[in-house]
Amino acid sequence: MAMAVGVFDSGLGGLTVLQALRARLPEVPFVYLGDNAHAPYGTREADDIFRLTCAGVERLWDEGCDMVLLACNTASAAALRRMQETWVPADKRVLGVFVPLIEALTERQWGDNSPPREVAVRHVALFATPATVRSRAFQRELAFRAIGVDVEAQPCGGLVDAIEEGDTELAEALVASHVAALKRRMPAPEAAVLGCTHYPLMEAAFAEALGPGVRVFSQPDIVAESLADYLARRPEMLGPGTQPDFLTTGEPGRVGAQATRLLRRATAFRAA
């Protein structure tokens, strides 16, 4: 029998998704696990990301979460496909945050498996971690659904660390320089994808640096809507259990303090 739904992230970025999930699905208990001891994932190798993500997902299965959402783009990009093909047992589900975003960008319905077609948007800027950019998973998933879309990807080194440390000034400066670097290669993007769940915390800075006329796609609300749709079609993946919980592989006191600062609400973690 399924219990709460698990939400996994390399650190604290997934809390942006969790907030949107709790607002959209208030009746669903979520168990959050941040692998803060090994964060950030964005600079790690793919095999390393796969191993760490599998360990985190198993820990959430132990908590009674038969379904786990990888609220981490790096894990979704570098590990999810391999996990689904080689590792996830038949009675469990592991979902990622990339596909809902691409479905929103290409205006396709969930599970629409028709051939790729032309879409309204032509020039897309992708801001993500170095590992996500390296994986090319975004471009691969996009190619399944759309043709004729030019994606320019900008690896945003240092940004996750600045956000988790609460250094807003540094984070804003990094956003400005990463956007400037991208615009030298793609002067007029029509859409910008914030391809890391930490980045919604800097959404205003991205929007300002990109300027008016660029539509910014941010994951939390898109992913929450997609999961609500999924659970409506697969209610058996839900079960009893009413207590939300926050776990970390890091130091619970320190992680809880960071999370409280980021979310502006008291958030207590326990050791995973």
Q: Which residues are catalytic?
A: 72, 196
Distance CA 27, CA 218 (A): 24
Which residue shows structure tokens 């629409």?
112
> Nearest-CA neighbor of 210 among 120, 121, 125, 104?
125
Distance CA 251, CA 247 (A): 10
Q: End-to-end CA distance of the chain, in Å?
A: 22
Distance CA 142, CA 256 (A): 36
Residue 35 near residue 99 (C-beta atoms within 8 A): no
Q: Residue 48, Cβ neighbours under 10 Å: how many?
A: 15
